[in-house]
Structure 1
Amino acid sequence: MSHDPATPWIVSLAAGGFAGAVEAFATYPFEFAKTRVQLREQKGVPTPRNPFLVVAGVYKNEGLSALYKGCSALVIGSVGKDGVRFLSFDTIKEKFKDPETGTLTPLRNMGAGMASGVVASITAVTPTERMKTALIDDARNEKRYKSNVHAIKTVIAEDGVLGLYRGFAGTTLKQAGATAFRMGTYNILKDYERTRNIPQTTLTNFANGSVAGIVTTFATQPFDTIKTRSQSSRGATTVEAFQSVIADYGVRGFWKGTTMRLGRTVFSGGILFTTYEWAAAILNPVLRKQTL
């Protein structure tokens, strides 16, 4: 997002999709641990807060493959999600930036991020998040799904195509908020650095992305918890998910899995934006040579 404003839309889409895939695969065990914690557990059984303990326990009891259950669904979804997110954010940002400085006000940065999050939720995020969550939930309980394809067919057979959009409200709220805070925070930091001639290095990009990930996690965790409950293997409406969290844990339950998610987002934010900047820097000159 700091690349040349003349960057073609295909570069934003391709670099964003590639960055999303790398980030999703690299940090998936933390996402797995977070999802396990958010799904309803047995009464009276303490839930570990340390993501490394959850990951280690699953690895010991279920093997390495269990930690990547549902990963392909998330990776595929991340290609579409982040490709669309970066493309729509860059497009919207170009419309509202200051023509002299090339920067946006913090409010416009957040607004551009929110709009791109809604677009991403509709086009890619909700269906893939639904299948990822259902696969993780099914693996610990009924084990009905034989594969990703079988899981999709089962959901459609039981609930129709709309079954893939179970938890749409919670997911869209989360995506709108998460993208607003993640993209917004990252670009606010970059715009601040740009106006003060602070060089943009890999370390700077990673640090900015990590800060954006931390802010995003605390601000949007309740939406993430509701989304996870809605998208369990049997599914639930947004209202039912909300009520089940209150019944199980009270208001504090909406921040269940925050530590788990932080374990991922601190790294994922850095990885995502660093990979995006790197991919865009490579693709831009290549594309320009081809069009000359």
Structure 2
Amino acid sequence: MVDKEKNTVSNNSVNRPWMYNNLAAVGESGGTFKGILAGGIAGGAEILVSYPTEYIKTQLQLDEQPGKNKRYNGFMDVIKKTVKERGVFGLYRGVNIFLFFSVPKGAVRFGSFETLKSWTADERGNLNAKMRALCGLVAGVNEAIFVVTPMETMKVKYINDQRLEKPRYRGLIHSIATILKEDGFKGIYQGVTATILKEGSNQAIRFYLFETLKNKYRDGDPTVHVPKVLVSLFGIIAGVTSVFANNPVDVIKTRMQGLEASKYSSTWNCVQTVWKNEGLLAFYKGTTARLLRVTIELGFIFVAYDSVMDILTKILP
């Protein structure tokens, strides 16, 4: 049995969500500010590293069968054709939308989880199995409503626009203005139902598995320190599981947010249409790209977050 090192930080720091695992360790003075800033910077850095996989995933999910609308023959074909047509930076089309929303996305997700956890945890700071999933579910729903739906809608439209012979959008601000002008406020909330289903299930699965794995390692003692390498591994396991579990929802969300979403009368109609025209495998388009992104995201962000936090602690003691 590995000797589990006891945590030396105060009790109010234990059992934090994965992205803020070391937040309390920076000290009481300015700790929250440093944590938010470090999380935003780390999130932005993670996006710059992992975004091409998000771009590829979206292109594959927008690629319909049969006939002339199908442009790509898999993951590597997207890379090859995009780089040939637009250069390496073509793989970053739409990344500014992700960067713009990275801080509020993390704040809503983890803020919601922490708030709900503070209300429902037992006297030791632990959640039971049902509450781990429920807190994650509510956090994902809040994230979908307040941040992810407009972010994802604009991202999908922006990437979808590139597929046209003559792209219309000249940048982030122009794309937002055009969508609002043509479709109104509801234009940036296309696919909200599918997004709620995706983010709710995503975070329910991820937080449930992550918290469960941490609790298993600690044997129920929240004062036991979990090594960073295991925190990273637990996050990756949770993320990979969520990809396989809800990729069909992600495909439907992408279709409902694309430029051709008007051909679907509802989310359920989109499900039926994809099933009828493309078959079961269509619901798993982009799985490889999502798996790559989740592995990169949940493996990289810990190093980035801790590194930025160390720097901020020196600059802002």
Please give the TM-score of this superposition, normalised by the length of structure 1: 0.86
1:257 is aligned to 286
Aligned with 1:204 (options 215, 224, 230): 230
> Radius of gyration: which is bigger?
2
The alignment status of 1:244 with 2:273, answered yes or no, reads yes
In structure 2, the residue matched to 1:232 is 258
Q: Look up the match of 2:130.
A: 107
Task: For residues 197-236 of structure 1, give each alpha carbon's deviation from its aligned partner in whole angstroms, at most 9, with x where no partner exists.
Answer: 8753332222112111101101111111011001112433
1:1-292 equivalences in 2 (<5 Å): 1=17, 2-3=21-22, 4=24, 13-41=36-64, 43-44=66-67, 45=70, 47-49=72-74, 51-100=75-124, 102-141=125-164, 142-195=166-219, 199-236=225-262, 237-273=266-302, 275-276=304-305
Q: Is the Cα–Cα contact under 8 Å of residues 20 and 83 in structure 1 kept in the other structure?
A: no
C-alpha deviation, 1:46, in angstroms: 7.6
SS in 1 for 2:261: coil
Bigger drift between 11-20 and 138-147 goes to 11-20
Conserved in 2, the CA contact under 8 Å of 1:13 and 1:87? no
CA positional deviation for 1:181:
1.4
Q: What is the percentage of aligned positions where both structures have the same residue?
A: 34
User: CA–CA distance in 1 between the matches of 2:315 and 2:114?
Assistant: 20
Q: Compared with structure 1, are the counterparts of its residues 172 and 272 closer, same or farther at alpha carbon in structure 2 (3 Å cutoff)?
A: farther
Of 188-197 and 167-176, the range deviating more from structure 2: 188-197
Please, what is the CA RMSD of the aligned residues? Answer: 2.8
Q: Distance in 2 between matches of 1:139 and 1:183?
A: 35
The residue that corresponds to 2:4 in the other structure is none
* Per-residue CA distance 1:11-60 (angstroms, 9 max, x = gap): 664454344323222100000000000003352558434x3443243223
1:276–1:90 CA distance, 2 compared to 1 (3 A): farther
Structure 1 pair 186–11 and aligned structure 2 pair: CA distance change class (3 A): farther
Shift in Å at residue 98 of structure 1?
Answer: 2.4
1:99 Cα deviation (Å)? 1.6
The CA deviation at 1:87 is 1.3
Deviations 1:121-146 (A, max 9, x none): 11111101100000100011141111
Change (3 A) 1:10 1:22: same
- How many angstroms apart in 1 are the aligned matches of 2:309 and 2:208? 19
SS at match of 1:269: helix
TM-score (norm 2): 0.80
Instruction: Name whichever of 73-82 and 30-39 sits farther off.
Output: 73-82
Q: Which moved more, 1:227-236 or 1:270-279?
A: 270-279
**Does the 8 Å contact 1:209/1:271 carry over to 2?**
no
* Matches of 1:92 and 1:139, distance apart in 2: 40
CA distance in 1, matches of 2:139, 2:310: 22
